[in-house]
Homo-oligomer: A and B are copies of this chain.
Amino acid sequence: MGKKISIAVIRRLPRYYRHLSELSSMGITKISSTELSKKMGLTASQVRQDLNCFGGFGRQGYGYQVESLFAEIGAILGIDRDYRAILIGVGNLGSAISRYLSALSPFFSLVGLFDIEPKKTKVAGKEILGMNELEGFCKKEKPQIAVLTLPPEVAPEVADRLKKCGIKGIWNFSGGELKGDVPCENVHLADSLMILFYQIGGEK
């Protein structure tokens, strides 16, 4: 019904969320689009356009209430709901991300860890299951999110299995690209590092 929200706007939402959180913890209760835009390195116009995609959160002649805007953006992003996730590929990166996610509890629950070779040692207090247990586990535990910290060669195949398991979103660290209709956020570390190389290289 309403006009579609562009991906560019969505990608700015977590930044708004972060800056509003900071303002809030500094005890600031109201902010104008101009002040917020300066803090964030945007134009005031853009701030107002962005926020108005979702509704009139401000008050003319006054500005925006920090606390309520923060809550609104959190709700739009869907921070509040309780997410359940599994992680597949418990190598170096997988272990680190596991601990990172475990620390987000109770808003976020990492309910299972999987690896091609199940290990005796626990990570983030959880045992590591073998890939053959994936389908059974998902049937029982119903995670919505799968974190892929595994090699790019196997990512597409695992993604297919996950789709059949009812996974609703993939956080992909594999470095490969996943096609298919399951929503996916890619964290391409190698790409990011290459872009840094380019930037260092100079503007040419």
A residues adjacent to B (C-beta < 8 A): 2, 4-5, 10-11, 13-15, 17-18, 41, 76-79, 81, 83, 92-93, 95-97, 99-100, 144-145, 168-171, 175, 177, 179, 183-185, 187-201, 203-204
Contact = CB atoms under 8 A, between A and B. Distances in A.
B168 A183 contact: no
B5 A204 contact: yes
> 10 closest A-B pairs (Cβ-Cβ)?
A96-B96, A14-B191, A183-B199, A78-B201, A185-B196, A78-B197, A169-B200, A92-B96, A14-B194, A92-B99
A198 B78 contact: yes
Nearest to A83: B197
A21 to B, nearest CB: 11
B41 A198 contact: no
A79 B15 contact: no
Count of identical protomers in the assembly? 2
A144 B193 contact: no
Given A77-B197, A194-B79, A41 B187 contact: no
Contacts of A194: 13-14, 17, 77-79
Contacts of A204: 2, 5
Contact of A169 (B92, B95, B199): B199
A190 B93 contact: no
Which residue, of A11, A93, A96, A187, has the highest number of chain B Cβ atoms within 10 A? Answer: A96
